[in-house]
Chains A and B, each alone.
Chain A
């Protein structure tokens, strides 16, 4: 397997995982890649490694350019096992003179691999290392998306090696944004942001400001997953600007599950109400909906209407499971409401409202509960709930 030339003396030497479909719970329907990069200057630099099991693919690509033992420096931008799983094996082969990483990355790598004698060299934001004609400039990016994370900028080439930021789980034979279907790439980039980066939106927003303040000229963005943004790096920067600012579309998601179709009847009535206001709607029944895909919709939808019947004084497990997952991403700027049927105790709406409060949603209705099966009057109330949510969504999205 061969290296792919990105620019003069700069190569992609990563691995393509065509067949992964479950990445720690994240549904990777289009596979993924573990990207690593090689810079050949007076010093030879490898940026990141790959997931354990893919080391030979990386080494064979490196060998198509130089002998791996000639690598002088290893830069560890992120220590998660999909990038550093092959760390020990690669270090044992290349025997680098120095391994550049943040303090948190060193502590994290030690806690993973316990190799105190490796030649670690801690770097901070602003640390620069001259490698010949070119310079490595490190910028710490804590919590984008782990405490150890950093990015490396090469000013002479205007290349940003951005680890997981701006990436996508997307396997393809094309290595660049102009060699793949842009629509697919944006879908996967959105899904990646929603399921990995979303909780750290305030940090992303700050980083984008820092990049502007430092006046970094960015010709190419080289992330650790998916393709290299060569033709249109501004596109992914503008998407990150949008997502990290919680900009949403005027769309309502009705996220629910049902036991005997009473909650589902309410869901349809609410949908009718939203549509009466001329607002886009999506009905998402959790027993048949992929969580990872749904998060991509949550990211860009202003309205979240949650429904569950009461089961044993609580929510249906499909609903509580998804809401636990969703809550961890700290969605903000949402319009919310809750609904559900019950037989005797009827706690579900109260619990759903608590989830909405936790994500600081603006709740537009006290919640719609129905004992057993909704009649016309209750369905009418469901339509009113849908209309109220849609009106608020329109108001917030037009402002």
Chain B
């Protein structure tokens, strides 16, 4: 599963970890995150993320 990086603050979403702060269980691919999910660090929207090289 691909990691995605926030273009605003550099936070990396790692699907292996999910995002416990927003009740996203480990193993959730980035594509399956809800549209309301935001960067847990800076609050940027899902559109502000790019796949990590």
Residue of B nearest to A149 (CB): B9
Residues of B that sit less than 8 Å from A by CB = 8-10, 41-42
Listed A/B pairs (15) with beta-carbon separation below 8 Å: A104-B8, A140-B10, A142-B9, A142-B10, A142-B41, A143-B9, A143-B41, A143-B42, A147-B8, A147-B9, A147-B10, A147-B42, A200-B41, A202-B41, A203-B41
A202 to B42 CA separation, bound complex (whole angstroms): 12
Q: What distance in Å separates the Cβ of A197 from its nearest Cβ neighbour in chain B?
A: 13
A81-117 interface code vs B (CB 8 A; 1 in, 0 out): 0000000000000000000000010000000000000
Count of A interface residues, CB-CB < 8 Å: 8
Q: A143-B42, A200-B41 are in contact. List 12 more A-B contacts (CB 8 A).
A: A104-B8, A140-B10, A142-B9, A142-B10, A142-B41, A143-B9, A143-B41, A147-B8, A147-B9, A147-B10, A147-B42, A203-B41
Q: What distance in Å separates the Cβ of A277 from its nearest Cβ neighbour in chain B?
A: 31
Q: Which residues of A contact B41 (CB under 8 A)?
A: 142-143, 200, 202-203
A195-228 interface code vs B (CB 8 A; 1 in, 0 out): 0000010110000000000000000000000000
Q: What distance in Å separates the Cβ of A316 from its nearest Cβ neighbour in chain B?
A: 27
Q: Which residues of A contact B9 (CB under 8 A)?
A: 142-143, 147
Q: Which residues of B contact A200 (CB under 8 A)?
A: 41
Residue of B nearest to A328 (CB): B43
A142 to B42 CA separation, bound complex (whole angstroms): 9
Q: What distance in Å separates the Cβ of B33 from its nearest Cβ neighbour in chain A?
A: 19
A41 to B41 CA separation, bound complex (whole angstroms): 38
A333 to B11 CA separation, bound complex (whole angstroms): 23
Q: Which residues of B contact A140 (CB under 8 A)?
A: 10
Q: What distance in Å separates the Cβ of B15 from its nearest Cβ neighbour in chain A?
A: 19
Q: What distance in Å separates the Cβ of B52 from its nearest Cβ neighbour in chain A?
A: 15
Residue of A nearest to B41 (CB): A143
Q: What distance in Å separates the Cβ of A354 from its nearest Cβ neighbour in chain B?
A: 15
A386 to B10 CA separation, bound complex (whole angstroms): 42
Q: What distance in Å separates the Cβ of B49 from its nearest Cβ neighbour in chain A?
A: 14
A142 to B44 CA separation, bound complex (whole angstroms): 13
Q: Which residues of B contact A104 (CB under 8 A)?
A: 8
For chain A, residues 127 to 169, give those with C-beta under 8 angstroms from any C-beta of chain B: 140, 142-143, 147
For chain A, residues 175 to 195, give those with C-beta under 8 angstroms from any C-beta of chain B: none
A239 to B8 CA separation, bound complex (whole angstroms): 28
Residue of B nearest to A143 (CB): B9
Q: What distance in Å separates the Cβ of A328 from its nearest Cβ neighbour in chain B?
A: 9
Q: Which residues of A contact B10 (CB under 8 A)?
A: 140, 142, 147
A147 to B11 CA separation, bound complex (whole angstroms): 10
A140 to B10 CA separation, bound complex (whole angstroms): 10
A104 to B42 CA separation, bound complex (whole angstroms): 13
Q: Which residues of B contact A147 (CB under 8 A)?
A: 8-10, 42
A140 to B11 CA separation, bound complex (whole angstroms): 13
A142 to B9 CA separation, bound complex (whole angstroms): 6
Q: Which residues of B contact A142 (CB under 8 A)?
A: 9-10, 41
A203 to B9 CA separation, bound complex (whole angstroms): 11
A147 to B10 CA separation, bound complex (whole angstroms): 8
A305 to B41 CA separation, bound complex (whole angstroms): 27
